[in-house]
């Protein structure tokens, strides 16, 4: 596959994830996130895939919208890749009130049987 095709697959997967958290689409999240996926929050706390999905399901982490502003720094190295996505995320996390925050996600991917999956995410503000 061409690098352009691979870049599009990564961006599409990132878009699938951002939509899935807003839609509470747990089935999609389970398909596109590696079992060992870790999410590092802005506080530095590292959350497992299971814990994150649980908090989305029970609305401890409620996402209302995620409006993309930028995707940059796409890097592909054989079966590993990463990108940085910048989105305006509207949510209510742990009952702290509904807020819109500029969140940046450094997303790490691994290619498994010709399919990319998300293995790690590091969230910060921008």
Give 44-84 pLDDT, tens digit per residue: 999 999 999 999 999 999 999 999 999 999 999 999 999 99
Distance in angstroms (rounded) separating the CA atoms of residues 64 and 97: 12
Distance in angstroms (rounded) separating the CA atoms of residues 56 and 59: 5
Give the single-character DSSP code of 83: E
Q: Is the pLDDT of residue 1 over 70?
A: no
Q: Is the pLDDT of residue 107 over 80?
A: yes
The answer to whether 107 and 21 are in contact (CB under 8 A) is no
Residue for token digits 């299971």?
50
Q: Is the pLDDT of residue 121 over 70?
A: yes
What pLDDT, on a 0 to 100 scale, did the predictor assign at position 2? 85
As given in the structure block, the two tokens for residue 93 are: 């996390």
As given in the structure block, the two tokens for residue 42 are: 């802005």
As given in the structure block, the two tokens for residue 120 are: 């790690």
What pLDDT, on a 0 to 100 scale, did the predictor assign at position 81? 98
Q: Is the pLDDT of residue 125 over 70?
A: yes
Q: Using the Cα atoms of residue 59, residue 95, residue 34 and residue 89 in order, give the sign of their dihedral.
A: positive
CATH of domain 3-125: 3.10.450.50
The answer to whether 90 and 100 are in contact (CB under 8 A) is yes
Distance in angstroms (rounded) separating the CA atoms of residues 108 and 81: 6
Q: Is the pLDDT of residue 112 over 90?
A: no
Give the single-character DSSP code of 97: -
- Domain parsing of the chain, residue ranges: 3-125
Global pTM reads 0.95
Give 14-52 pLDDT, tens digit per residue: 999 999 999 999 999 999 999 999 999 999 999 999 999
């Amino acid at each position: 596959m061409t690098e352009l095709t691979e870049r599009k697959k990564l961006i599409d997967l990132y878009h699938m994830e951002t939509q899935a958290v807003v839609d509470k689409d747990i089935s999609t999240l389970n398909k596109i996130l590696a079992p060992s996926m870790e999410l590092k929050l802005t506080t530095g706390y590292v959350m497992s895939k299971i814990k994150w999905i649980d908090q989305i399901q029970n609305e401890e982490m409620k996402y209302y919208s995620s409006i993309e502003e930028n995707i940059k720094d796409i890097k592909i190295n054989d079966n590993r890749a990463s990108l940085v996505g910048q989105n305006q995320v509207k949510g209510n996390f742990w009952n702290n009130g509904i807020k819109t925050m500029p969140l940046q996600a450094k997303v790490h991917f691994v290619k498994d049987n010709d399919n990319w999956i998300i293995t790690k995410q590091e969230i910060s503000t921008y």
